[in-house]
Structure 1
Amino acid sequence: MQPPTLRDVAELAGVHAATASRALNPSTRRLVNSETAKRVLKAAETLGYQPNPIARSLKTARSTTVGVVIPDLTNPLFPPIVRGIEDGLAAAGYNAWLVNTDNDPRREQAQIESLVSRQVEGLIVATARREHPLLERLHEQHKPMVQVNRRVDDLDVPAVAADDAAGIELAVRHLVELGHTRIAHLAGPETTSTGVARARAFRHAVRDLGVDDDPALVARCSQWSEAEGARALGELLDARLGFTGVVAGNDLQALGCYDVFAERGIDCPRDLSVVGFNDMPFLDKLRPPLTTVRVPHYELGTEAARLLLESIHDPDRHARSVLLPPTLVVRQSTGPAPKRSVDRRPRRDR
């Protein structure tokens, strides 16, 4: 038995095939009388009709697909962003094709080239580095694109991200209000806009709030990872810098701090307080539950989808950036500053 065709739907609904096609496409449904559209949709449902996206793209030169480029699918930060993107696109009849780069530039290039060869109408990219020749070339080729969470320096492409400066200020202010005067920062990679922006915001916040602005208290991590967070905190403790609070560049780095606490017998928050950034899932299950800056990840995704659809339908529209406000989620990993700092060596050294 042959599957039902568009012509079958049109005949059952009593309309021309072109009218049925417009009614079945969310992006053109507004061109059809609402009662007629309902009749066509009902006919399609009755027959079990499924549109053929390949045939439609050949006819309209539009694939109604968007490529979404993610650096690390194992990072819990990204699933809610992707969910927001999918929901934002679905309302306009678009679908997302997702690729994972593993933070490997060669893999990223191959994945993006594959998406472009499949005629995606635009890209939502979460892998941006501050210098990113591939994205710059795509921009020069007029490929609609939106950056999400990170951005390329001096690239005139729409972007949506959390307000990093506001989030770091919330974290530092929280520790200052608890009496901490020497606060360390685990900074993200200098190759990423988020790493640079959060480190800069940290230095501004400690100055503005009148606590110790000691450059030695900023430890740079080469990756947004638990292992790098543990390494950086260990080095700060070995340097005996006398700090009582830590603002991590992201939650994964904060998780690395927990590894160091266990290794060195440090009680958090009695000996050392720590704040993360992002509010990944399940942080409330840690012991102690992690205080962190909450980023509206789902909304980042929906806003990225909206900006990309605007770029697709209005290519001459001026590129603009959107910053979404973060909030502080206070849990049990932060507490009053101890009277004396703790700089414990690993237990194996004692």
Structure 2
Amino acid sequence: MSGRPKLSDVAAAANVHPSTASRALDPALAGRLSPEVVERVRRAANQLGYSRNAIAASLRMQRSRMIGVIVPDLTNTMFPPMFRGIEDRLSADGYSAILANSDFRPAKEKAIIATYLDRRLDGLILASAHIEDAEQMDALARRVPVVLLNREIEKASVSAVVGDDRAGVTAMFAHLSGLGHRRIAHIAGPQDTSTGVARREAFLAAAREHGGEIDDRLIVMAETFSEQEGYRCARHLLEAGGKPTAILAANDWLAIGCLTAIEEAGLNCPGDISVSGFNDMPFADRVRPPLTTIRIPHYRMGFEAAAQLLDLIAAPTPQVSRTVMAPSLIVRQSTGPVSFD
């Protein structure tokens, strides 16, 4: 044989039809053939030095077999296990994922989406949605299958996989109340995100249920879900005169920022102020003190988001779905009984 081997050469060497050879070499289609045939074709391809032209195949199928994923902050360690779940589910159907970071900036997110669309990706998984983007999200979903991850937009007709924010905050408030805390502060997440809004509303509902009157000095809004904002907001709480004995932060990074502010103020956690987070991101148990938090199933959420997206891609008439995954309370050393000294 002279020159680069062709698919027809592989088919002849494996004694199969070229279309069968093509399916055997396509991860998304190989499952339709017997393992013996797939192995024979792949062995022939390896012996001949043949490599499948994925780009040409995608043009024939009108599919890129690529999925675009956007997260708001790559430094947040909750997203790698989510992305692993996405990759594991996609790879089973012969798809791959491209990951990008929006840095909490809607304009950057829109630019990334435009690039994904220009590259004709088959679908999008977005963990960076803002609640005011309902109209734009509906328009986007009419162009390409979309699934929202960790956040949602109630007014948009888009599938979503989220954790149960209300249940998580309610469980954490009950935990702190059970330790004797009555002056519980809340560092709320950005109010242009579903997680920020839902967790703040859940906190207010829990506070009313357990204590009645709410002290406005005990609630402060973070601009981003970041350690720096957690530090700034905790400093504000300590200086505002509300005298909190516990801080329920809307995510783990905000809680970690609190720990620094408390230490700088010469106070002890949890002796003087208990601190709790939300998400149970990897390494939350490694901070000092180890962080009490609400665990959401990161890997399962990513896996389910990818499964829903593949269903949307395959369905002739896609159906919008919403999956809510139960959280669990993880108690560590950053929360303790209230001090009455």
Q: TM-score, normalised on structure 1?
A: 0.91
- Matched residue, 1:346: none
**SS of residue matched to 1:277:** coil
1:15-67 per-residue CA deviation (whole Å, 9 max, x = no partner) reads 01101111222332343344323322333344454322101011111111111
Q: Could you tell me which amino acid in structure 2 is paired with residue 234 of structure 1?
A: R
Q: Could you tell me which amino acid in structure 1 is paired with residue 259 of structure 2?
A: Y
- Matched residue, 1:312: 313
- Matched residue, 1:187: 188
Q: Larger deviation: 185-194 or 311-320?
A: 311-320
Change (3 A) 1:3 1:287: farther
Residue 263 (structure 1) aligned with residue 280 (structure 2): no
Change (3 A) 1:315 1:186: farther
Q: Could you tell me which amino acid in structure 1 is paired with residue 228 of structure 2?
A: A
Q: Larger deviation: 26-35 or 196-205?
A: 26-35
Contact 1:131–1:153 (8 Å) recurs in 2: no
Residue 125 (structure 1) aligned with residue 126 (structure 2): yes
Q: Could you tell me which amino acid in structure 2 is paired with residue 190 of structure 1?
A: Q
Contact 1:172–1:202 (8 Å) recurs in 2: yes
Contact 1:144–1:315 (8 Å) recurs in 2: no
Change (3 A) 1:335 1:10: same
Q: Could you tell me which amino acid in structure 1 is paired with residue 91 of structure 2?
A: A
The Cα of 1:78 is off from its aligned counterpart by 1.4
Change (3 A) 1:21 1:281: same
Q: Percent identity?
A: 47
In 2, distance between residues paired with 1:3 and 1:207? 73
Q: Larger deviation: 15-24 or 232-241?
A: 232-241
The Cα of 1:156 is off from its aligned counterpart by 0.8
- Matched residue, 1:344: none
Residue 274 (structure 1) aligned with residue 275 (structure 2): yes
- Matched residue, 2:326: 325
The Cα of 1:5 is off from its aligned counterpart by 3.5
Contact 1:162–1:325 (8 Å) recurs in 2: yes
User: Cα RMSD between the aligned structures?
Assistant: 1.8
Q: Larger deviation: 298-307 or 43-52?
A: 43-52
- Residues 236-251 of structure 1: matches in 2 within 5 Å? 236-251=237-252
Structure 2 runs not aligned, ≥5 long: none
The Cα of 1:330 is off from its aligned counterpart by 1.2
- Matched residue, 2:52: 51
- Matched residue, 2:137: 135
Contact 1:198–1:249 (8 Å) recurs in 2: yes
The Cα of 1:105 is off from its aligned counterpart by 2.5
Contact 2:159–2:322 (8 Å) recurs in 1: yes
In 1, distance between residues paired with 2:303 and 2:173? 29
In 1, distance between residues paired with 2:182 and 2:4? 71
Contact 1:183–1:212 (8 Å) recurs in 2: no
In 1, distance between residues paired with 2:184 and 2:51? 58
Residue 144 (structure 1) aligned with residue 145 (structure 2): yes
In 1, distance between residues paired with 2:4 and 2:129? 43
- Matched residue, 1:338: 339
Residue 299 (structure 1) aligned with residue 300 (structure 2): yes
Change (3 A) 1:122 1:316: same
- Matched residue, 1:95: 96
1:77-124 per-residue CA deviation (whole Å, 9 max, x = no partner) reads 211111111111000100111222222222222211111111101111
Change (3 A) 1:266 1:5: farther
**SS of residue matched to 1:181:** coil
- Matched residue, 1:202: 203
Residue 223 (structure 1) aligned with residue 224 (structure 2): yes
In 2, distance between residues paired with 1:193 and 1:183? 22
1:160-201 per-residue CA deviation (whole Å, 9 max, x = no partner) reads 011111111121111111111221110001100100000011
Q: Could you tell me which amino acid in structure 2 is paired with residue 153 of structure 1?
A: E
**SS of residue matched to 2:120:** coil
In 2, distance between residues paired with 1:5 and 1:199? 60
In 2, distance between residues paired with 1:288 and 1:212? 31
**SS of residue matched to 2:277:** strand
- Matched residue, 1:343: none
Q: Larger deviation: 42-51 or 153-162?
A: 42-51
Change (3 A) 1:71 1:4: farther
Corresponding pairs, count: 339
Q: Could you tell me which amino acid in structure 2 is paired with residue 254 of structure 1?
A: A
In 1, distance between residues paired with 2:261 and 2:213? 24
In 2, distance between residues paired with 1:176 and 1:257? 19
1:203-241 per-residue CA deviation (whole Å, 9 max, x = no partner) reads 122233446543432211111111211221222222221
**SS of residue matched to 2:132:** coil
Q: Could you tell me which amino acid in structure 1 is paired with residue 184 of structure 2?
A: I
Contact 1:183–1:246 (8 Å) recurs in 2: yes
Structure 1 runs not aligned, ≥5 long: 341-350
